[in-house]
Structure 1
């Protein structure tokens, strides 16, 4: 089978298109023929050596959609999707023709989603779902999402809307603001960090109950916009991993910080998440993904390089 593979880290030039034997599923596993596989920033970081637990040589890729061709009889022929923390890191991932994983690690693909659309959602939506669950977002929550134009931020505002939360989206550029407002979301334009508290309080009197920072740069400023007993969920940090947290202001508000890391969840836990929000696509409650860039595995190195250079296009490999 054709696959992308790297045998060393630190340089995207290590990524190659190779021919590998088709994987053989072990007991309790399925063999999935990949119909589409998403490219995430974490896949790029993996090749660059940001994850010390990655074993080599390795086929990268976390998100996929495809058809079960071997495994339990009830799953053979089923259209499935999946994601998880080991595939692409300590076992071969989805940027290939086939993948093996636990039979409990795949979820039935929503009928309303194409293979490419389903493959674009795994990491962004499971991350956003986990953030909303663990920061207790419900119909009574006033939620601020920082970086709502990104893949995870967009997933968060869509999922929060379904939960009935009051959503405020924050972005950096006027055209992003206009696009969100056209979709019916309240939105603000991020300016200087010292202005964030006033901006939030102008919309949510007394502050936001939950602030989801998808950018890694607004945690200190977010404290000023937090309501009493509020929660700040974070999924990123500066390169050195450090921020100057105003601890006095945080504890006086009774606030807390919730770390969100999708790599804490294996394929079986992720499959349960996919099952929970996947049905919302078939019920018409979540918008279908658009604007996907579909390409062959042979274009992999170029596409990895584009993501590494900051491209926000959602790339989908079609093996």
Structure 2
């Protein structure tokens, strides 16, 4: 099969499409013919050597496609079914991928729309669970217009929370459409939030990693009420919890999201798609940031 890989750290130019052996599913797993695979900031961070030291590396932890082989004991899907989920070995940006956690693609979604979901919805759900967000709370999300941020906004609204979200002014209407109250990020954030929430907020989630943890701590009344998914160094410095999957992932949301989508209570737009062969350009766009929604690599037919 053809797959994206890099054999040295560096810029997007180190990415290549190579031939690798076809993967085989283990017990409880399925193999899919990949139709689309999500692109995440962790991809370019890995490529630059900021996360894992090993070489060479394949990439991609989320994909959507058609089941073409079942692992031992799998009875909940059949060959030919449309599914999406998490790659077990970080090799989803390829023609074939093995999924360890999977669910049927919601009927209203195409393959790119489904491939955009897993990482964003798992990360958002895990962070909200760690913050204990519940009905009646006021939650501040720093970086609310990206894929994880917009997922967190919608899940928090479903839980009955009031959501204040930071974003550039160009994305404020988008945040309002999700049910959040937008504020601009940057200097003066504390004053802008207190203008609409005089007593501060109950909890705060840092998605952007832009050095705002001191402000979030002030607004939320202490570091114990703040979680970051993007600022590991700042978390250690300020005593804030850094959310990672090491303490357990919220993979249950994969099977639950379809009901919210079909009820019109959740959506995650695909900002842009790229053929697998143009993965270097996808990395360039991802690293520049600022797009609402998700970047997706398209490997085959999109429906």
TM range (shorter): 0.7 to 0.9
The CA distance in 1 between the partners of 2:76 and 2:177, in whole Å, is 44
Using the alignment, how far apart are the partners of 2:260 and 2:204 within structure 1?
24
**Cα shift at 1:136:** 0.7
- The aligned residue for residue 81 of structure 1 is 84
Query: Scaled by the length of structure 2, what TM-score is found?
Result: 0.86
The SS at the match of 2:156 is: helix
Distance 1:272 1:178, change over 3 A: closer
Partner in structure 2 of residue 276 of structure 1: 256
Say whether residues 1:223 and 2:223 are aligned partners.
no
Matches within 5 A, 1:203-242: 203-216=196-209, 217-227=211-221, 231-237=225-231, 241-242=233-234
Report the secondary structure of 1:8's partner residue: coil
Given that 2:30 and 2:67 are in contact with CA atoms closer than 8 Å, whether structure 1 keeps it comes out as yes
1:196 aligns with 2:196: no
Please state if 1:181 is matched with 2:176: yes
Q: 1:244 to 1:31 in 2, by over 3 A?
A: closer
Aligned to 2:242: 259
Are the counterparts in 2 of residues 146 and 169 from structure 1 also a CA contact under 8 Å? yes
Question: Partner of 1:250 in structure 2?
Answer: none
- In 1, distance between residues paired with 2:124 and 2:157? 12
Change (3 A) 1:118 1:101: closer
Unaligned runs of 5+ in 1: 248-255
Q: Deviations over 1:163-199 (max 9, x none)?
A: 111111122x32222443355532222341xx33333
- CA distance in structure 2 between the aligned counterparts of 1:234 and 1:228, rounded to whole angstroms: 13
Partner of 1:99: 97
Q: Alignment partner for residue 168 of structure 1, among 158, 164, 182?
A: 164
Equivalent pair of 2:140/2:205 in contact (CA under 8 Å): yes
8 Å contact kept, 1:25–1:70: yes
Residue 278 of structure 2 aligns to a residue whose secondary structure is helix
Question: CA distance change for structure 1 residues 242 and 299 in 2, over 3 Å: closer, same or farther?
Answer: same
> How much does 1:95 deviate?
0.7
Alpha-carbon separation, structure 1, partners of 2:29 and 2:236 = 46
Tell me the SS of whatever aligns to 1:83: strand
Residue aligning to 2:133: 137
| Counterpart secondary structure, 2:230 | coil
Aligned-partner SS, 1:224: helix
Change (3 A) 1:316 1:134: same
Runs (5+) with no aligned partner, structure 2: none
Structure-2 separation of matches of 1:127 and 1:178: 24
CA contact (8 A) 2:12 2:284 kept: yes
* Equivalent in the alignment of 1:251: none
